[in-house]
A and B are shown apart, each in its own frame.
Chain A
Amino acid sequence: NAGVTQTPKFRVLKTGQSMTLLCAQDMNHEYMYWYRQDPGMGLRLIHYSVGEGTTAKGEVPDGYNVSRLKKQNFLLGLESAAPSQTSVYFCASSYGQGLRLSYEQYFGPGTRLTVT
C-alpha cells in the first residue's frame, strides 16, 4: 500500500515550458487535491476533484489545469510555466463527504518545481 505517490520529485523548467505532475493513490479515495506550499504563504489549494471526471477550482487555480480521467490519478498541468509557479506541490486524497470537503487528507511527498 503505497498511499499517495507523486512524480516527478524534482523538476527545473524554463519560463514558458509546460509540464504535467502526476499524482496516484491506491486507497480508493473519491476526493483528490492539488496544493502548493510557499514560504510565508502556507498551503494553498489549486484544484480539487470529488470524483472521476470532475474537477473544481480552489484558491489559486490560475495558470494550472487538472484532469481526473481515472479515480486513482489526478494530473496537474502547467501550460506555460512562470517563475511565480516556483513552489513545492503536494497532492492529497481523502474519502468523500457528500458535497463538503474532507479534511482528513493524506498527502504525497511533494514535487519541488523551480521555474527559471
Chain B
Amino acid sequence: DAKTTQPTSMDCAEGRAANLPCNHSTISGNEYVYWYRQIHSQGPQYIIHGLKNNETNEMASLIITEDRKSSTLILPHATLRDTAVYYCIALSGYSTLTFGKGTMLLVSP
C-alpha cells in the first residue's frame, strides 16, 4: 500500500470549512484513497473514499488531484463534534485496514 503523509495537527474555527490534506505520491493505479476518523475513546468511523473522481457524501467531500498524488478531505461546516484524529489511507483491496498517525483536527468555538 502507498505511504500517506498528513500534517500532525490542524486547527479550525467552528462553522468554517476544514480542509485536511494528504500526500500519497507513490499511489498505484488500483489503490483507493480512504478517510476515517476517530473521536477520542470511540471506534473509528468511515468517512469517504475515492479512486480518481471527486466524491461527496453527507459527511464530507474528497478532492483528489488529477495525478492522484494528493487529496484533500473537506468538512464544509466544521462543528465541535468534528474534533478527532483523521486518517488518510491508500488501499488496493489486498491488504488489511491499518491507520498511521493521522491528523489531529481541533475545532474551536
**Which residues of A are interface residues toward B (Cβ below 8 A)?**
4, 35, 42-45, 58-59, 90, 92, 97, 100-101, 103-110
Contacts and interface: CB of A to CB of B under 8 A. Distances in A.
> Chain A interface mostly helix, strand, loop or mixed?
strand
Interface of B: 32, 34, 41-46, 49, 89, 91, 93-100
A24 B49 CA distance: 25
Contacts of B44: 43, 90, 92, 105, 107
A42 B100 contact: yes
Residue of B34, B89, B93, B97 contacting most chain A CB atoms (<10 Å): B97
A104 B46 contact: yes
B51 to A, nearest CB: 12
A97 B44 CA distance: 21
B46 A101 contact: no
Contacts of A45: 96-98
A97 B92 CA distance: 12
